[in-house]
Each structure stands twice: as structure tokens, then as C-alpha cells.
Amino acid sequence: MVLSYLGFASTNNLYRNLPVSELVKHALKNNEGTLAENGALVINTGKYTGRSPNDRFIVRQPSVEGRINWGNVVKAVDEETFNNLHQRVVRYLEDKDLYIFDGFVGALREYRMPIRVISEFASQAMFANQLFIRPTTEDLEDFQPGFTVLAAPGFKANGKEDGVNSEVFIIINFEKKMVLIGGTQYSGEIKKSIFSVMNYLLPLQGVFPMHCSANIGANGDTAIFFGLSGTGKTTLSADPERRLIGDDEHGWCDQGIFNFEGGCYAKTINLSQEKEPEIYNAIRFGTILENVVLKENKETDYDDASLTENTRAAYPLHYVSNIEPSGIGSHAKTVIFLTADAFGVMPPVAKLTKEGAMYHFLSGYTSKLAGTERGITEPEATFSTCFGEPFMLMKPTVYAELLGKCIEEHGSDVYLINTGWSGGGYGVGKRIDLTYTRAMVKAALEGSLKDVEYVQDPIFNVAVPTECPGVPSEILNPINTWADKEAYQQKAKELANEFRKNFTKFDASAEIVAAGPKVE
């Protein structure tokens, strides 16, 4: 294999698309990790146990200049900075054994992109093998990467001196079709960099890229689930009665819904076989565990957050028992937005108009809880545009308009489901019972909410059903669950104002703005 297109003058051993068993052997031999009692490869990623959002950049170039939503989230770097770091990373890697994964992102062949991941670590090549779409032998014969990820965890930048913010850098160069990663062993940077690339390229082809999970029913009906961390996206889409298309990244095109990936990257903190059997049972030989603590007998301790709350498992989709092997589904019959409202004021379930869907998609609301981050002592409203702001490189309205187009063309029903608190906010009320939430999701998927009576929530401006199979009707209107009605009104208006304040940054139509919360 020749890597001269990346600037390599010479290379040591190149290990291309090794079988997982061989990658495990190399990782153990290189002291990259340990085998757990259940057979999984356990990796400690060191100082960086999650993504480094302040260290992610896009190279500023004429071809992308007018399309990228530059700002504090999507930061620019010049070509000279990229070229300097690229040359030094190549020199750093030239005398090392390199592990290469050649494969694909995108289950639908029309929009499939060939990718190459090169790393100094066998465990990162194994991560790429398990998370992306694995090639056939024939695919590898004349393989040409559409994008290359060059990952050098052991190379540290000099921060501002090198034109970046720290020793870590994740830089996407669209003209050179490269991602350059240094200073961090956290493999999520590889996954999310490629997701970011797809989120830029696909809208140019009229495809709607989505940070969502998706599943398909026995009748072939597809559902998609949007939601930020802690809202229940993975839990609620893992339905024993429906086949999982994918748990995180999808596209919506003229042919339907398709998964970008070939694997899952699941959180494992407090994981139990009882509550999340699909994830628990997928953790075995061939799975990579990041920052999971092992007991003396090599058993996993999923409750131990001493390294990080962000413990992860990376495994191929076929480790899950009930999947859609093609990774493809029909157009979404049902779209579900999940939020975990810790203030206890949003309805447990509401039906959205197309404009309402675009409003809540642009908002991407959930709440951070006390204790989840340093300095947070009370619940805080948090908004992540398009339910994935760090990865959506274009202007938010580009993605919202694609959503609106898909909903309109395919007659999708859209529901907002609150998996948060009822009867009061966090510390006063209690989390909505998961059995009720599952019943709401089921009713939405089966069409049971189509013909029931609705009332308009006067503050949040959404249509709330007066009944839902399997759910006590009194909890459907949140004010009914509060002992202090005035306290409810005050807190609901406070949250509505947070929505409106956040929405001022969008250049959205008057119809979309009017679909948001109303405060007198």
C-alpha cells in the first residue's frame, strides 16, 4: 500500500484491515489495553475521556467559506496551520507500525463514502472496524478513500504556538479530504469527525443528515428518534418489537432512511442487564470498552465513574439481536423528538405541526441536571441546535428546511415526548415512569394518537392529547400534576422565555417563530 498521497516518504509495517482477533492480539502486545472477563478489550484513553470541542477546527478555504456556520462551535483554522501539523504528524508516524481500516460510511450505496482510518494504535483501527461499515474482499481490491482520517494520539501540539488551542487538535480539511487528529486517544473523535463530514457533504446532494436513532416495525414502518444525552434515545429505540436500523447517525433521502454506520457506541455508566439487555449482551469479545473500570478478577464495574461518567462500549450492529441488517428503512412514518425537562413543565407528549417540528428541531432542548457538570447546582435549560450542534457544520436552517421538506413530502407525524419530570421540577416532582413513556412512544408509532382529542398548551403552543392508551389522562396536562398551580405557571413561563431567547439567533421564517412558546 502506498501512502505517498498523505506525504509519507517511507513507512514501517502497515497492517490493513486485520481481523478483529488479530487486532486484539496487537493491542494487547502493544499494551494498549486489557481483556475483561467477558472478552471485551478495555482501553484507558488517559487524560481525554471525551470529545474536545474547543480543539475541533475546519480549514478555512474558498470552496467551503460561504457554507460553513463559523463561530464558537465551528472554529476556523488556516491552511498553513493545517499543513504544518500535517507534515509533523506524518514525520512522527513514519517510523511506527500503522494500523489501517478501509471501509465505508453510509448503508445506501448511492450515498456511501469510502473512508480510510490510519492510526498508530491497533485499538483505534479495531474501533473503526466495529463502528463503520466493513468492506468485502472485493471492495478492497481497488479501494480509493473518499476521506482519510490520520490519527496520532501520541503526537502533542504546542497549542497557540501551532495555531491551535492546546496539545489536542481535530482538523477537517475538505479540499484535501482529510481529518487530522492528534493528542487524544478518545476514539469518539474519529466517529464524530466523519459524521461532521457527512453532515456537510450530504445536504449538497439534497440528503438530510440526522443525529438520531431509527427502527422499523413488522409492517415496514420506520421511526426516527432525536434527542440529546440523557433523554432516552438509545433506550426507547431499542424496542424488542421493532428492528434497529441504527442508534446514532442516519440520512433521509428520496429512497428512505439509511444508517451511516455499522456499529454502536453506547454509554455504559450504570449499565445493567435488566434495564438495557441489548447493550449489556453485546459486550463480549470484539467489543471495545473505553474507560470502564475492572475489578481485580477482571469483571467490569459499570457503576464505577472514577475515570469518567462517559464510559463507552463500541461494538458492531450484528452483536445486537434484533436489527435491520440492510441498515435501510422506508421514509419515516413517525418522527419523535425526545427531551428530558427537569423543570417538570412540558407535556409528556405533544403533536407538532411541520412548523412546530422545525422550531423544536432548531431548538434541540433538554436540561442539564445538578451534578452532571461542575458548577451546576440547579437544573439548567440547554439547547443543541438540530440535536447535534457540534457536528452540524452548515447553517442550522439548512437542516431545518430539509426536515420540513421530508415531513411534508412523506406525511410524517411528529411528536415531542418529554421523558423528564412530572408533578414539579427535579428535587420536587419525579421522573415520568418509563412504562408510561414507552406507552406514549408505542401509541405514536401505532397511530393511536391520530384520532384522539387535543388541546393547545397555552404556553408551549403544542397540541396535547387528552388521552393516550396505557397512560393516566391526568398526567398528560402537566399543570394537573402540580400542587402549586401558580408555581407551575411561573416556571413554565421562565422556560418558555429561555426558548424564545435562544431562538433569536436563528434566521427562521415568521411561521416557524410563531410555532414556538408564547409568553404574554
Active site residue 192: yes
Active site residue 109: no
- Active-site pick, 134, 176, 192, 360: 192
Q: Do 228 and 387 meet the contact criterion of CB atoms below 8 Å apart?
A: yes
- Active-site pick, 11, 26, 45, 51: 51
The helix/strand/coil state of 418 is strand
Active site residue 10: no
- Active-site pick, 86, 233, 242, 354: 233
Active site residue 433: no
Please name the residue ranges forming H helices in 395-484.
396-410, 434-446
- Active-site pick, 11, 119, 123, 234: 234
Q: What are phi and psi of 101, to 5 degrees?
A: -115, 120
Could you give the angle at the alpha carbon of 191 between the alpha carbons of 187 and 196, nearest 5°?
135
Query: In the structure grid, which three cell numbers stand for residue 17, read together?
Result: 484491515
Q: Do 448 and 454 meet the contact criterion of CB atoms below 8 Å apart?
A: no
Angle formed by the axes of helices 188-201 and 122-131, to 10°?
50
Distance, CA of 196 to CA of 180 (rounded, Å): 13
Active site residue 518: no
Residue at 167: amino acid letter: E
Q: Is 116 exposed, middle or buried, given 0-12, 13-18 or 19+ CB atoms closer than 10 A?
A: buried
Active site residue 247: no
Query: Position of cell 513507512?
Result: 11
Distance, CA of 25 to CA of 128 (rounded, Å): 16
Residue at 73: amino acid letter: V
The helix/strand/coil state of 436 is helix
Distance, CA of 213 to CA of 237 (rounded, Å): 7
Distance, CA of 408 to CA of 412 (rounded, Å): 7
- Active-site pick, 211, 243, 368, 491: 211
- Active-site pick, 134, 191, 242, 312: 312
- Active-site pick, 229, 353, 382, 509: 229
Distance, CA of 91 to CA of 519 (rounded, Å): 59
Distance, CA of 114 to CA of 143 (rounded, Å): 8
Catalytic residues: 51, 192, 211, 229, 233-234, 248, 312
